[in-house]
Each structure stands twice: as C-alpha cells, then as structure tokens.
Amino acid sequence: NSIAVDDNNELLAVAIASGTAGVNGHIAFFDIAGAAPSFLKNVEVGDLPDSVAFTHNGNKVIVANEGEPASDYVIDPEGSISVINIIDGSPADEADMITFEAFNTMQTELESQGIKFSNPSGQTIKGSVRNYSVAQDLEPEYVAVSQDNQYAYVSLQENNAMAIVDLSDNSVQIKGLGYKNWSQHLIDVSDKDGGLNLATYDLSLIHI
C-alpha cells in the first residue's frame, strides 16, 4: 500500500496489508545499501497499513493502519497507528501500537468539533443489531512528520479529523478539521462532466 525510503540508514519500508479484514498487516524492511535490496525482516503492525513514513532523522517509522471495515460491516477492525523504532540502523522486532480506545466514550465531544462518524451503529446487519465504537470508526490514512521529528500528523480523512502523535511518549490527540461553506468557494464536484467546471453551490455546511 505504501513505501518509504530512509537515506540515513539506507532502509526501505513497505506497507503490506493482509488482504483480510480483521487480520493485521506488516511492514517489510529491506537494506538498500547494496546493488539490490536485501530483505531484513517483517514487523507486524495494525489492520490495513495504508501509509508508512520515516522520521527525518531515521529513528522511527510511523504507520497509519486504516482498519477499514468489510463491505458488509460484519467485521470492522479498529484503526490504529504503529511506531517502529530504528536502533543502530536496524528496525525493532515489534511495533509500539497506538490505539484510539481511550476516545470510545468521547463521541459526542468529538462530533462537536466537526468529527464525522459514519458507521451504521444500531442497524441490523445479517440478523443482529450491531454497534461500533469510536476506535472502530476512526480510520488513519496518511502520515506526515514534523521537521523537528517531534510530532506525527495522521489524517483521518473519512472522519474529517487529524490525529497528532507526540513521538516522545506516543500520546495522541484528535482534532476536528471543521467545516467549509461551499456556497462561498468554487469547487468542481464531478469528474464525469467533460472537463473543469468550477462553481459555487447553495448547500448547507458540509464536511471538508
């Protein structure tokens, strides 16, 4: 799903999903110092690793694990973030896992920030009523690292939010991205109308 290269330690990291919802993926590490990449190890991460990035100093690898649900929502893994330490140029055997379980009781507060939860909680799916937690509905998508290597910023694009990880202690905050009024901004809403057609729309406020 994603690759990242670190010139400091001459490492390549490759995010590989399991292909099955509810089964963790892994990061495959390769030594790229020689003429051809040499496989080093696999490190297990969370469900559906969707983005991988090295810190700028090469000391850590950050992984956004999307935890995307199965199409019928019978299985909906929790989204998570993995941090893999690079020690003396070598990846650790295990990742530190950052989960969102601490936010499970905070859905109303998060929604007040404009954070979106779209799972079908309370609906009957395959004969049973199912409810989904905040941790299941948060879906980390893409990783960026601050220039000083102190923070990782992980987009939660389906949720209109950002997870901010303090890499000194792996603590995490979630910030909503707010709203935009598209009646005041030009936007092209279709890729099926034959070209670029920017317009404003008289719509109520929607998530950006």
Tokens read off for 200: 């404003």
pLDDT value of residue 71? 82
Q: What pLDDT is stored for residue 41 in this prediction? A: 98
For residue 9 the two structure tokens come to 């330690």
Structure token pair of residue 154 = 């992980």
- Give me the amino acid identity at 115: I
Q: Which two tokens stand for residue 49?
A: 């690793």
**Structure tokens belonging to residue 94:** 């295990």
Cα dihedral 167, 173, 174, 178 sign: negative
**Average pLDDT over the chain, rounded to an integer:** 91
| 168: amino acid identity, one letter | S
Instruction: Output the pLDDT for position 208.
Output: 45
Question: For residue 204, is pLDDT > 60?
Answer: no
pLDDT digits (tens, 9 = 90+) for 159-180: 999 999 999 999 999 999 987 7
**pTM score of the predicted model:** 0.86
